[in-house]
């Protein structure tokens, strides 16, 4: 990378880890507990990334009260089990290690996943040591959604946060929109859960982790 950026913000689910299995199984558990008809996997893919409460309200059409119940049921399975039905995308650990060795670069997590859950995942995969800070959602909803997560991270470093030299990397549209809202550059990864149509407005696009490594670090 030709010193284009001083800071890199990474999304977690669908960008660093392939967490689909645990999340979808836990959503199906919530559906069962609420007596809802089980949808196809293709329908549930849209739940990966955005805040779950929003998906229950805007996608499923639940009331706010029922959406809160759905989230509680989801966590009932996800926290002890689903969070570990997860894996790193091949090559990601090596990439993060290489980035962490750069003295002229800081890397962060900016995820809509609740912060305690994000920390557990990063610790589980032994990659938390690579990140300079972690910003996630809160269980009480005071920080919710990618834009607020990014804002929370920026607030820790203002006025020394150069937005023009900061890159947000993610796989869904809210990653791209969140970056643009805060004046950051964005890079969409096509190996995650979002489609080309969804993230086509990113400033940069890559199709694989090796391509991401080439973009960030150069080389073959």
- Do 73 and 104 share a domain, yes or no? no
Q: Are residues 201 and 102 in the same domain?
A: yes
Instruction: Examine the domain organization and report whether 53 and 101 are in the same domain.
Output: no
Same domain membership, residue 195 and residue 102: yes
Last residue of a domain, one of 84, 112, 139: 84
Same structural domain for residues 184 and 200?
A: yes
pTM assigned to the model: 0.93
| Same-domain pairing of 43 and 121 | no
Please indicate, yes or no, if residue 153 is contained in any of the structural domains. yes
- Residue 71: band (very low, low, confident or very high) from pLDDT cuts 50, 70, 90: very high
End position of a domain, from candidates 32, 63, 84: 84
Residues with Cβ within 8 Å of residue 142, at least 6 apart in sequence:
none
Model pLDDT, residue 50: 82
Q: Is the residue at 75 inside a domain?
A: yes
Task: Give me the CATH number covering residue 57.
Answer: 1.10.150.240
Q: For the beta carbon of residue 158, count every other beta carbon within 10 angstroms.
A: 8
Same domain? For 122 and 174 the reply is yes
Whole domain around residue 129: which residue ranges? Answer: 7-18+87-217
Q: Examine residue 209 and state whether it is found in any structural domain, yes or no.
A: yes
**Same domain membership, residue 161 and residue 125:** yes
Number of structural domains in the chain: 2
- What is the domain-level CATH number for residue 147? 3.40.50.1000
High-pLDDT (> 70) share of the chain, %: 98
Concerning whether 11 is annotated as a catalytic residue, the answer is yes
pLDDT digits (tens, 9 = 90+) for 101-124: 999 999 999 999 999 999 999 999
If you average pLDDT over residues 199-220, what whole number do you get? 93
Q: Rounded mean pLDDT of 55-65?
A: 95
Domain boundary among 84, 112, 135: 84
- Judge if 80 and 91 occupy the same domain: no
What is the pLDDT of the chain when averaged over all its residues? 94
> Annotated catalytic residue: which of 6, 11, 46, 160?
11
Kindly tell me if the per-residue pLDDT of 38 is higher than 60.
Answer: yes
In a domain, 1, yes or no: no
Residue 1 has pLDDT above 70, yes or no: no
Residue at 190 is within a domain:
yes
């Amino acid at each position: 990378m030709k010193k284009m950026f001083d800071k890199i913000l990474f999304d977690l689910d669908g960008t660093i880890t392939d967490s689909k299995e645990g999340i979808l199984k836990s959503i199906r558990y919530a559906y069962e507990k609420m007596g809802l008809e089980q949808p196809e996997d293709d329908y549930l893919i849209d739940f990966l990334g955005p805040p779950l409460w929003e998906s229950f309200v805007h996608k499923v059409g639940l009331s706010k009260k029922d959406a809160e119940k759905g989230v509680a049921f989801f966590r009932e399975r996800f926290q002890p089990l689903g969070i570990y039905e997860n894996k790193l995308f091949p090559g990601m650990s090596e990439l993060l290690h290489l980035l962490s060795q750069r003295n002229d670069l800081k890397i962060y997590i900016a995820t809509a996943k609740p912060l305690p859950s994000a920390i557990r995942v990063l610790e589980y995969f032994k990659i938390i040591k690579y990140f300079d800070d972690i910003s996630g959602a809160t269980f009480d909803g005071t920080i919710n959604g990618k834009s607020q997560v990014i804002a929370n991270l920026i607030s820790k470093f203002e006025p020394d946060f150069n937005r023009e030299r900061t890159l947000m990397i993610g796989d869904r549209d809210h990653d791209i929109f969140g970056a643009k809202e805060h004046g950051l550059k964005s890079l969409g990864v096509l190996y995650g859960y979002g489609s080309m149509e969804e993230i086509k407005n990113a400033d940069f696009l890559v199709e694989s982790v090796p391509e991401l490594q080439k973009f960030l670090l150069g080389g073959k």
